Amino acid sequence: MARTVIVGGGIGGLAAALAVTRRGHRAVVLERAVTFAEIGAGIQLAPNGLHALDRLGLGDAVRARAVHIDELRFMDGVSGAHVASLPLTGVYRRRFGNPYVVVHRGELYGLLLDACRRSAAIELRAGARATGYRQDASGASVLLDGGEQVAGDAVIGADGIRSAIRRQLVGDGEPRVAGITVFRAVIPMERVPEELRWNAVTWWAGPGRHFVHYAIAGGRYLNLAPSVENGVTESFAGVPVDRERVRGAFAALDTTARRLLALGEDWKSWSLVDRDPVDRWTDGRVTLLGDAAHPMLHYAAQGACQALEDAVVLGDLLDEDADTIPDRFEKYNAERRERTARITHTARASTRLWHPAGAEAKARNEMLSALSGTALHDQVAWLHGAREFGTAGARR
């Protein structure tokens, strides 16, 4: 029975463990943190992410806990005018075969973790920080910072945007700082006035900035995520920030948007980072998955969905034969690079839609408001509607 060593116990690493063990492998997941846990608020899952979870046996459990969103609502953040809504009910669900949901990150992670714990083929090791890998014709091993080597037939680096495995395999340095700061706060729904509650992921688009909000945790909380292009050059994550600074950055937005922002407390800030897509993230018996392979701005709300898709495609390609691993990893990489690169570029380009001012914003509003529900569905079909997650799906 082949043994796969997975570096990183995030959403991607746990999904990979489930996927490879469904194909007869044993898996050990090495996580540098002292416990297996995920922090953070809500995570949007489009139908493609749920299809991947269905394939991992977790779709029903996620759908049962998630908020099923009715629309993606696009507002002119300066005038407060409703510009367009992409409906996510009836036709959308039938066409794409799953709903569009928001689930609490901790809940999604807990389901993946429980499934891993239930599997006799998966070993979970916390407090294990990888520094690199070694391989020869018959196997591959992960080096830990205490000097230990964890040996197996294959290595999957699912260790996130600053992956140690990627550093050795791709060697493309630090991530790109996008010059954008995102602020996040979560507020109990009972503090949100009735007239400001609706079941949508809502964008308020303004010059050089926008504000997104949606319900999480079964509708008990509202997640606020405004972001601004401020030319920030440093990378930072989860840094507390004064509420006045957040309000000041979005002072030009319409009254309703500002009322919602004013409800936020205990704000934290992140500078956004990603990487240019690369064609190759596989080296013999070693490959990458999730943010380690193709980190993207969260503007397409697809990073976790893509990690789940990776896991499914990789699992589908494997069999119990350890000798075929290099070949299967090559195929996985080839299947996934085009779709994930397209999404990375789409996420970057989204600021061109959300951040214009003046005449450009007016033209954008006219263009979006002229699109029917079906036309809007056509726009996202390649992304949300994918059920096969390889090259053919990327081109559709």
Ligand X SMILES: Cc1cc2nc3c(=O)[nH]c(=O)nc-3n(C[C@H](O)[C@H](O)[C@H](O)COP(=O)(O)OP(=O)(O)OC[C@H]3O[C@@H](n4cnc5c(N)ncnc54)[C@H](O)[C@@H]3O)c2cc1C
Active site residues: 214
Closest CB to ligand X among residues 78, 187: 187
307 binds ligand X (CB under 6 A): yes
Q: Which two tokens stand for residue 95?
A: 């066409």
User: Closest approach of Cβ 207 to ligand X, in Å?
Assistant: 21
Nearest to 163 by CA among 324, 275, 279, 19: 275
Closest CB to ligand X among residues 101, 361: 101
287 binds ligand X (CB under 6 A): no
- Residue from the set 206, 277, 303, 356 that interacts with ligand X by CB under 6 A: 303
301 binds ligand X (CB under 6 A): yes
Asked if 215 contacts 43 with a C-beta cutoff of 8 angstroms, the reply is: no
Query: Which range, of 18-26, 191-199, 274-282, 295-303, touches ligand X by CB under 6 A?
Result: 295-303
- Residue from the set 2, 3, 4, 12 that interacts with ligand X by CB under 6 A: 12
User: Closest approach of Cβ 324 to ligand X, in Å?
Assistant: 25
User: Closest approach of Cβ 310 to ligand X, in Å?
Assistant: 8
167 binds ligand X (CB under 6 A): no
Q: Which two tokens stand for residue 228?
A: 């601004």
Nearest to 292 by CA among 30, 27, 111, 101: 30
Closest CB to ligand X among residues 13, 264: 13
Range 173-178 contact pairs with CB under 8 angstroms and sequence separation of 24 or more: 174/235, 175/235, 175/273, 175/274, 175/275, 175/295, 176/273, 176/274, 176/275, 176/276, 177/232, 177/233, 177/234, 177/235, 177/271, 177/272, 177/273, 178/271, 178/272, 178/273, 178/274, 178/297, 178/348
- Residue from the set 17, 30, 108, 257 that interacts with ligand X by CB under 6 A: 30
**Taking each helix axis from N to C terminus, what angle separates 373-384 and 325-354, rounded to the nearest 10 degrees?**
150
Nearest to 10 by CA among 89, 126, 118, 175: 126
Using CB under 6 A as the binding rule, the residues of this chain from 176 to 205 that contact ligand X are 182
Q: What is the largest CA-CA distance in the chain?
A: 64
Closest CB to ligand X among residues 344, 365: 344
290 binds ligand X (CB under 6 A): yes
7 binds ligand X (CB under 6 A): yes
User: Closest approach of Cβ 307 to ligand X, in Å?
Assistant: 4
305 binds ligand X (CB under 6 A): yes
8 binds ligand X (CB under 6 A): yes
Closest CB to ligand X among residues 254, 310: 310
Residue 60 amino acid letter: D
Asked if 250 contacts 150 with a C-beta cutoff of 8 angstroms, the reply is: no
**Taking each helix axis from N to C terminus, what angle separates 47-55 and 373-384, rounded to the nearest 10 degrees?**
40
Bridge partners for 84 per DSSP: 74
Closest CB to ligand X among residues 42, 206: 42
Query: Which range, of 299-307, 323-331, 345-353, 368-376, touches ligand X by CB under 6 A?
Result: 299-307
31 binds ligand X (CB under 6 A): yes
**What distances in angstroms separate CA 209 from CA 45, 76, 180, 215, one per listed residue?**
23, 11, 9, 21
Using CB under 6 A as the binding rule, the residues of this chain from 123 to 142 that contact ligand X are 129-130
SS3 category, 10: coil
Closest CB to ligand X among residues 48, 365: 48
Query: Which range, of 28-36, 79-87, 279-287, 372-380, touches ligand X by CB under 6 A?
Result: 28-36
Query: Which residues contribute to the site for ligand X (CB under 6 A)?
Result: 7-13, 30-33, 43-44, 49, 129-130, 158-160, 164, 182, 290-292, 298, 301-305, 307
